[in-house]
Amino acid sequence: MTQRAGDLPDLTETALGIELGSTTIKACLIGPDHAPIATGSHLWENELADGLWTYSLEAVWAGVQGAFAALADEVERSYGARPTTFGAIGVSAMMHGYLAFDGAGELLVPFRTWRNTNTAVAAAELSETLGTNIPLRWSIAHLYQAILDDEPHLPEIASLTTLAGYVHRALTGEHVLGVGDASGMFPIDPATGTYDQRMLEQTAHLAAAKHPGLRVEGLLPKVLPAGADAGRLTPEGAALLDPTGTLRPGIPLCPPEGDAGTGMVATNSVAQRTGNVSAGTSIFAMVVLEEPLATVHHAIDVVTTPAGDPVAMVHCNNGASELDAWAGVFGEFATALGQPCEPDAVFGALLTAALKGSPDGGGLLAYNYLAGEPITGLDEGRPLFVRIPGSRLDLAGFARAQVYGVFGTLALGMRVLADQGVEIDAMFAHGGLFRTAGVAQRLLAAATGAPVAVGRTAGEGGAWGIAVLAAYARAVEAGSDLTLSAYLAERVFGDIDLEVVEPDAADLAGFRTYLERYEAGLDIERAAVASLVPNTQNPEGDQ
C-alpha cells in the first residue's frame, strides 16, 4: 500500500533507484511495499562530437543531481522534510559503450555510447575468434577497435566500465558491475557467473599481439550478482548526489545494472520462457533461455539476467524517438490552431488513432532510423515515411505505420529466435510508449505473436526496477534466502494487476503484410543513406 501524503515513511526501509536513460535521467523512491513514494527526472540529450555519439561527464552529474533534487523536493512537499538517508540505493544506465580511465580516475576520451557503429571491424574479428556474437555496441568491441586504430590513449588506460559502473564507482569507490550490465561488456560464463575465462584469454592474446602490455582482464570491473554487497555511499559520493549536504553517507548500494536488466526486473521477466520489451530511444527484447541457442546469429546477443541466467537479447538502435518527433509536430500544429495540448495528450491521441488504422498499415511505411541499425545491416540511418500510390493518407493509417515502424526491426530479430525454436509464454512491456492503455501493447502482440502484459509500473521503467534491485539487496543483507525470481514473484508482483492482451488475428495477419513491405523497402533506406547527407551540426533537429 502506497504511503499517504503527510505520513513520513521510515526512510531506512526505502530504496532509491536512479537510471540514466538515453533522453531522461530518472529517480524513483519506493517504500517497503515496493510502491513509488516519489520520483524525479531530468532531461538530457546525446551529442555528436567528432563523429561519435557522446554525453559529457558534466552532463551526467548535472542530470543525476537534477533528478535527485526533484525527488527530494517531492518528498519535502509530501512529507514536510527532505530525505537524509535511504535503506538502499541502486544505479542503472544504458548498457555497453566505452568509458576508459587512467590510474588517477580521469576520463581518457569522451564517453562513447552504445549508439556508435564505428566498431564493425573489431566486432567481426572478435565474433569470429570467440565463436559468439559480439555486437558493435559492446564495450569489448569499442576497446578492440581502439586497439586496431592504435589510439594514443591506450598506454594510459587503467580501467574500463559502463555508465552505470562509472556513476556507482563515483558514489562508492568500488569498481564493480552487476552481471547483467557486465554481460554487455564481455561474454559471461553462466557456470562461473563472471567473464568467460577462455574467451578472455583469447581476447587478451589478440590485444597483446597488436598492443603489447595491455592487460584486458585487468581493466574490467568485478562482476556481482543481484543481492550482493556492492559498497556504501561515501562522503564524497553523498556530496556528488546531493550537493546541499543533506544526504548522509553510509547507505548500502546494490550492484549497478544496465537498463536491460532493470527492464527485466520491472516486468517480472527473469524466469525461463518469459521475456520483455523495453521501448525508449532504442527498443530491445529480452527472452530468458531454457537452453543455449543452436547457432550464433548477428541479430541475437547472449547476455544475462541480473541473477546471471542466460538471456537472448534482440537490440535495435532505433526506438520511439521518431514517433516522439511526429507527436511534437502535431503538438505544434495544435498550438498554431490556438488549441495547445500537453505532450502526453498529443501522444495519447496519436496512439489511440492507430487502433483505427488498416491492420496492414494501408500501404504506408515508416522507418525510425535516426541512427545505424546493425540488424538490418545499416551503418547509418535516415528517418523516412513513404507510401505507395493509391494508399490513403489519414491520421489512423499514419499513426499505425509509425507504431509498426517502432516494432519493425525488433520483429525481424524475434523471427530469428522463433526459427531457433525459442518459445515464449508471455512478453511484458514497459516504457513510456505503453502508458496509453492498450494501444502499443496490442500492436506489439501482433509484432511478436505472443501475449503482451503491461502493469501499473510500465511507465516507471528502469528507475523503479533498479530501486527494486536495491530493495532485494537490502533483504538479502537482512538474511533473506529468496532467489531474485522468487522475491519478485512473492514480494513485488504478488498483488500487482497486469493487463494482458492476446494477439488479434487481424492484427497478426496485417503486421505480417506490413513486415514484408518493410523488409522489401529497406532498399529505400539504403538509398537514402547513400544519397542524403545529414546535418552534423544539428543531427536530430530540435528534438
- Rounded to an integer, what distance in angstroms lies between the CA atom of residue 219 and that of residue 239? 27
Residue whose C-alpha cell reads 581502439 in the numeric block: 146
- Those residues whose C-beta lies under 8 Å from the C-beta of residue 240, and which sit 6 or more positions away, are 61, 64, 65, 170, 171
- Rounded to an integer, what distance in angstroms lies between the CA atom of residue 71 and that of residue 26? 9
315 assigned to some structural domain: no
Q: Are residues 107 and 196 in the same domain?
A: yes
199 assigned to some structural domain: yes
pLDDT for 470-481, tens place per residue? Answer: 999 999 999 999
CA-nearest of 398, 402, 503, 501 to 447 is: 503
Highest mean pLDDT among 127-131, 430-434, 435-439, 528-532: 127-131
Q: Are residues 334 and 375 in the same domain?
A: yes
Task: Work out the pLDDT band at 334, boundaries 50, 70, 90.
Answer: very high
Write out the three cell numbers for 331. 503538438
Q: Are residues 83 and 58 in the same domain?
A: yes
312 assigned to some structural domain: no
Query: By the 8 A CB rule, do 89 and 230 touch?
Result: no
pLDDT at 249: 98
pLDDT at 2: 40
Crossing angle, helix 462-477 and helix 259-266, to 10 degrees? 80
Of 86-100, 228-242, 279-293, 453-467, which range is least confident? 453-467
pLDDT at 284: 87
Q: Across 280-378, where does the E strand assignment appear?
A: 283-288, 301-304, 310-316, 364-367
SS3 312: strand
Strand 452-455 vs strand 426-430: parallel, antiparallel, or unpaired?
A: parallel
- Those residues whose C-beta lies under 8 Å from the C-beta of residue 28, and which sit 6 or more positions away, are 16, 17, 18, 19, 36, 38, 39, 71, 460, 463, 464, 467
Cross-strand partners of 178: 224
Query: By the 8 A CB rule, do 29 and 37 touch?
Result: yes
Q: Are residues 214 and 247 in the same domain?
A: no
The tally of domains found in the chain comes to: 3
The H or E element containing residue 176 is strand 176-178
Q: Are residues 56 and 108 in the same domain?
A: no
- Those residues whose C-beta lies under 8 Å from the C-beta of residue 132, and which sit 6 or more positions away, are 187, 199, 296, 302
Q: How far is CA 405 from the centre of its chain?
A: 19
419 assigned to some structural domain: no
How many Cα atoms sit within 13 Å of 537 on the Cβ side? Answer: 0
Q: Does the pLDDT of residue 457 top 60, yes or no?
A: no
Task: Work out the pLDDT band at 459, boundaries 50, 70, 90.
Answer: low
pLDDT for 52-78, tens place per residue? Answer: 999 999 999 999 999 999 999 999 999
Q: Are residues 33 and 78 in the same domain?
A: yes
Q: How far is CA 265 from the centre of its chain?
A: 12
Q: Does the pLDDT of residue 538 top 60, yes or no?
A: no
Q: Look up residue 131 and give its DSSP letter.
A: T
What is the mean pLDDT of the segment spanning 251-268? 93
Q: Are residues 248 and 152 in the same domain?
A: no
pLDDT for 427-455, tens place per residue? Answer: 888 877 888 878 899 999 999 998 998 87
Cross-strand partners of 176: 222
279 assigned to some structural domain: no
Task: Work out the pLDDT band at 456, boundaries 50, 70, 90.
Answer: low
Q: Does the pLDDT of residue 273 top 60, yes or no?
A: yes
pLDDT at 327: 95
**How many other CB atoms are there within 10 angstroms of residue 315's CB atom?**
26
What is the mean pLDDT of the segment spanning 77-84? 93
Q: Does the pLDDT of residue 543 top 50, yes or no?
A: no
Cross-strand partners of 42: 25
pLDDT for 487-522, tens place per residue? Answer: 999 999 887 777 889 999 999 999 999 999 999 999
What is the mean pLDDT of the segment spanning 278-307? 90
437 assigned to some structural domain: no
Q: Determine the structural domain holding residue 395 and report its residue range.
A: 320-405+503-531
Stated length of the chain: 543
Write out the three cell numbers for 467. 530501486
Q: What is the distance between the terminal CA atoms of the chain, rounded to a whole angstrom?
A: 38
Q: How much of the chain, in percent, has pLDDT values that exceed 90?
A: 78
- Those residues whose C-beta lies under 8 Å from the C-beta of residue 243, and which sit 6 or more positions away, are 65
What is the mean pLDDT of the segment spanning 381-388? 95
Q: Are residues 74 and 109 in the same domain?
A: no
Mean pLDDT for the chain? 92
Q: Are residues 231 and 334 in the same domain?
A: no
Crossing angle, helix 197-210 and helix 120-130, to 10 degrees? 130
**How many other CB atoms are there within 10 angstroms of residue 288's CB atom?**
23
Q: How much of the chain, in percent, has pLDDT values that exceed 70?
A: 96
Q: Are residues 122 and 193 in the same domain?
A: yes
261 assigned to some structural domain: no
CATH of the domain at 145: 3.30.420.40
484 assigned to some structural domain: yes
Q: Are residues 509 and 395 in the same domain?
A: yes
Q: Are residues 385 and 481 in the same domain?
A: no
pLDDT for 159-171, tens place per residue? Answer: 999 999 999 999 9
Residue whose C-alpha cell reads 527492464 in the numeric block: 263
Between CA 388 and CA 400, with CA 394 as vertex, the angle to 5 degrees is 80
